[in-house]
């Protein structure tokens, strides 16, 4: 439907208890959530889900991405390996807002073991409602230049 923003969403087993509640919350506030799957309660590897979400965002098939593991850290490390992704772990609503506003983050990574469902939902909402401020573009351009460098 026109006007609805598509989100790429992925978790590992650590977020199995909260993932359905988070997806429902995002749908209720008007987002089209593309759930890129998970492994149920069985232990799985977070990079498998991080790369799916990251590629969807990098290829502009989703407006932004949401990744949840135990801490958010593993998902963030993995997602940032995909060219064009800026993923950030955020620990409150302020950092979720600043990640979008100042750092141009296009993926938010959160930890199910270090936040409540309500905190997770509110951080995501804040992140999604915040736009990048163009005055920070030169710093983002410098980050993108680093991405192109190789060992001599
Ligand atoms: C899985 O036990 C855990 O390591 C993973 O969810 C995540 O927290 C990694 O960063």
Q: What is the pLDDT along the chain (152 residues), one digit of tens a residue?
A: 456 799 999 999 999 999 999 999 999 999 999 999 878 788 999 999 999 999 999 999 999 999 999 999 999 999 999 999 999 999 999 999 999 999 999 999 999 999 999 999 999 999 999 999 999 999 999 999 998 898 88
Its domain, for residue 31, covers 6-150
55 lines ligand 1 (CB under 6 A): no
How many structural domains is the chain composed of? 1
45-87 per-position pLDDT tens digit: 999 999 999 999 999 999 999 999 999 999 999 999 999 999 9
Ligand 1 pocket: which of 15, 42, 74 to mutate (most atoms <8 Å of CB)?
Answer: 74
CATH code of 129's domain: 3.40.1400.10
Answer yes or no: is 127 within a domain: yes
Strand order in the sheet with 32-35: 32-35, 6-11, 64-69, 107-111, 87-89
Which of 129, 132, 125 shows the shortest CA–CA distance to 101? Answer: 132
Atom of ligand 1 nearest to the CA of 70: 8
Rounded CA-CA distance 50/134 in Å is 27
Residues that are catalytic: 69, 102
Answer yes or no: is 1 within a domain: no
49 lines ligand 1 (CB under 6 A): no
38 lines ligand 1 (CB under 6 A): no
């Amino acid at each position: 439907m026109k006007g609805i923003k598509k989100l790429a969403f992925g978790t590992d087993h650590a977020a199995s208890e909260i993932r359905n509640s988070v997806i429902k919350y995002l749908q209720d506030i008007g987002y089209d959530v593309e759930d890129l799957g998970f492994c149920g309660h069985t232990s799985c590897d977070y990079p498998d889900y991080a790369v799916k979400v990251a590629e969807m965002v990098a290829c502009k098939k989703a407006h932004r991405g949401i990744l949840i593991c135990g801490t958010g850290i593993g998902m963030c490390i993995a997602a940032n390996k995909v060219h064009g992704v800026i993923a950030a772990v955020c620990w409150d609503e302020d950092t979720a807002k600043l990640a979008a506003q100042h750092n141009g983050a296009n993926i938010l990574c959160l930890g199910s073991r270090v936040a409540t469902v309500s905190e997770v939902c509110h951080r995501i909402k804040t992140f999604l409602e915040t736009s990048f401020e163009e005055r920070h573009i030169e710093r983002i351009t410098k980050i993108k230049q680093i991405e192109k460098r190789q060992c001599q």
